[in-house]
Amino acid sequence: MTLYRTRHRDPLFHEVTTRCRVHLFARDPAQRWGEALAQEQDSFRDVCRVMHRLAFGGGRGALTLPLASLAYRLVYRHWGQYTADSDWLAAQSGGLRSPAQCAFLQRQYSWAHASPYTGGCSTVTVWDETAGEMVCFRSLDWPAAEAIGRTTRIFELIGPDGAVHGRSAGMMGMLGILTAVRDGVSVVLNYAPSPGLAGRFRPDPTLMLRRFLEDLSVQGYADAVEWLRRERPGAPCFVTVCGTARGDACVLAWDVAGPPEIRRADERTGILVQTNHYHDDNAAVRRNKRQLHEAPADGWFHTRLQRNSRQRARTLHAALDALVHSGRTPDSAALCELYRQPPVWNHETAHWVELRPRHNQLRVWVHREDLAA
pLDDT of residue 227: 98
Q: Return the amino acid letter for 14.
A: H
For β-strands 19-22 and 261-264, DSSP reports them as: unpaired
Which among 304, 284, 197, 290 is positioned nearest to 238, based on CA atoms? 284
Burial of 283: CB neighbours in 10 Å, binned 0-12, 13-18, 19+: exposed
* Cα distance between residue 158 and residue 163, in whole Å: 6
pLDDT in tens, 159-194: 999 999 999 999 999 999 999 999 899 999 999 998
* Cα distance between residue 361 and residue 168, in whole Å: 9
pLDDT in tens, 317-359: 999 999 999 999 999 999 999 999 999 999 999 999 999 999 9
Q: Look up residue 260 and give its DSSP letter.
A: P
Q: Look up residue 187 and give its DSSP letter.
A: E
Residue 12 pLDDT greater than 80, yes or no: no
| Among the ranges given (33-37, 44-48, 145-149, 251-255), the one the predictor scored with the smallest mean pLDDT | 145-149
Residue 11 pLDDT greater than 70, yes or no: no
Which among 164, 124, 184 is positioned nearest to 357, based on CA atoms? 184
pLDDT of residue 251: 98
* Cα distance between residue 73 and residue 67, in whole Å: 10
For the beta sheet containing 179-182, the strands, ordered from the edge strand earlier in sequence to the opposite edge, are: 19-22, 152-158, 164-171, 179-182, 185-191, 237-242, 249-254, 261-264
Alpha helix stretches (DSSP H) within the chain: 29-39, 41-56, 61-71, 77-79, 83-91, 99-105, 108-111, 145-151, 205-214, 221-229, 309-326, 332-338
pLDDT of residue 340: 93
Burial of 327: CB neighbours in 10 Å, binned 0-12, 13-18, 19+: exposed
* Cα distance between residue 62 and residue 72, in whole Å: 16
* pTM value > 0.85: yes
* Cα distance between residue 76 and residue 66, in whole Å: 14
pLDDT of residue 288: 92
User: What confidence category does residue 153 fall into, taking pLDDT thresholds of 50, 70 and 90?
Assistant: very high
Which among 323, 124, 88 is positioned nearest to 240, based on CA atoms? 124
pLDDT in tens, 25-56: 999 999 999 999 999 999 999 999 999 988 89
> Is the peptide bond between 343 and the residue preceding it cis, with omega within 30 degrees of 0?
yes
Q: What is the largest CA-CA distance in the chain?
A: 58
* Cα distance between residue 357 and residue 373, in whole Å: 34
* Cα distance between residue 253 and residue 274, in whole Å: 10
pLDDT of residue 143: 87
Dihedral pair phi/psi, residue 305, rounded to 5°: -65, -35
Residue 4 pLDDT greater than 70, yes or no: no
Q: Across residues 292-315, what is the average pLDDT?
A: 93
Residue 13 pLDDT greater than 90, yes or no: no
Residue 3 pLDDT greater than 80, yes or no: no
Task: Please report how the helices 221-229 and 205-214 are oriented relative to each other, as an axis angle in degrees rounded to 10.
Answer: 140
Cβ atoms of residues 256 and 194 within 8 Å: yes
Any residues with CB less than 8 A from the CB of 269 and at least 6 apart, and which?
126, 127, 320, 321, 324
Percent above pLDDT 70 for the chain: 92
Dihedral pair phi/psi, residue 277, rounded to 5°: -140, 155
| Among the ranges given (4-18, 209-223, 245-259, 351-365), the one the predictor scored with the smallest mean pLDDT | 4-18
pLDDT in tens, 260-290: 999 999 999 999 999 999 999 998 999 899 9
Query: Could you tell me the domains of the chain?
Result: 27-114 (no CATH), 122-371 (3.60.60.10)
First to last CA, the chain: 27
Burial annotation 197-207 (CB, 10 A radius, 16+ → b, else e):
ebbeeebbbbb
Burial annotation 173-184 (CB, 10 A radius, 16+ → b, else e):
bbbbbbbbbbbb
